[in-house]
Amino acid sequence: MYSEEIDMYLEEYNEDLKKAMDHHKDELLQIRAGRANPKIIERIVVDYYGTMTPINQMATISVPEARMILVSLWDQSMLKTVAKAIEAANLGLNPSDDGKVIRLVFPQLTEERRKELAKEVSKMTESAKVVCRNARRDVLDVFKKMKKDSAITEDEMARLEKDVQKSLDDAIALIDKNSDAKEKEIMEV
């Protein structure tokens, strides 16, 4: 019986780690690193006939060149509204429209801006690691309570602590790998 309960807690713990890693990866994709990445405008929402709608649900977003995003709206009447929303999102991009599409040209990043972005990546990375460590603490607290209630033995507790720590180490290694890749991409001239 307790084996199933332990498996459930471990599964929940691993799911929490996966969520933290996925969230971190998504956050990194939102950072502009000199190259055009459609992900950075996906979260921008526009008032589309009374409904707040993400841009990617009302347009085709493409990357025709390395440093340009093309937004082709399905409803041309929303062109100015979408351009204003992109401007208001404070991405450091100036949308230009020709009446048919919106072009977002990514300027070359300055050295100072690159360092700011690298610091932002570091903060996001540390935040993701804290979430993972908190998940470890929570699951170990449950196991310690089970040990205290004599539901699991000392040996089982040691094995569980080792398993939980190994999962945490793997998650943090992946978070660091993604973070290092993003920092390298940002610092690339």
Superfamily of domain 2-30+110-187: Ribosome-recycling factor (1.10.132.20)
Per 3-state DSSP, what percentage of the chain is helix, strand, and coil (rounded to 5)?
65, 15, 20
The closest alpha carbon to 129, from 79, 92, 174, belongs to 174
Q: 1 or 117: which carries more pLDDT confidence?
A: 117
Residue 45: per-residue pLDDT: 87
Residue 127: per-residue pLDDT: 95
Give the up-direction half-sphere exposure of residue 69: CA atoms within 13 A in the CB hemisphere: 26
Which residues have a Cβ under 8 Å from the Cβ of 64 and sit 6 or more positions away? 70
For residue 91, the SS3 value is: coil
Q: Which amino acid is at 110?
A: T
What is the tens place of the pLDDT at every residue in 5-59?
889 999 999 999 999 999 999 888 777 666 677 777 877 888 888 888 888 888 8
Please report which confidence band the pLDDT of residue 2 belongs to, taking 50, 70 and 90 as the band edges: low
Residue 174: per-residue pLDDT: 95
In CATH, what class is 39-105? alpha beta
Q: 55 or 2: which carries more pLDDT confidence?
A: 55
Annotated domain spans of the chain: 2-30+110-187, 39-105
Residue 115: count other Cβ atoms within 10 Å of its Cβ.
Answer: 13
- Cβ neighbourhood burial of 156 (10 Å; 0-12, 13-18, 19+): middle
Give the up-direction half-sphere exposure of residue 100: CA atoms within 13 A in the CB hemisphere: 0
Average pLDDT over residues 61-68: 84
Average pLDDT over residues 164-189: 90
Kindly report whether the global pTM for this prediction surpasses the value 0.75. no
Would you give the DSSP letter of residue 35?
S
The closest alpha carbon to 32, from 82, 84, 91, 85, belongs to 91
Average pLDDT over residues 167-188: 90
Residue 1: per-residue pLDDT: 42
What is the tens place of the pLDDT at every residue in 99-149?
888 888 877 778 887 888 888 899 999 999 999 999 999 999 999 998 898
Strands 95-97 and 102-105: antiparallel
Residue 189: per-residue pLDDT: 61
Residue 68: count other Cβ atoms within 10 Å of its Cβ.
Answer: 14
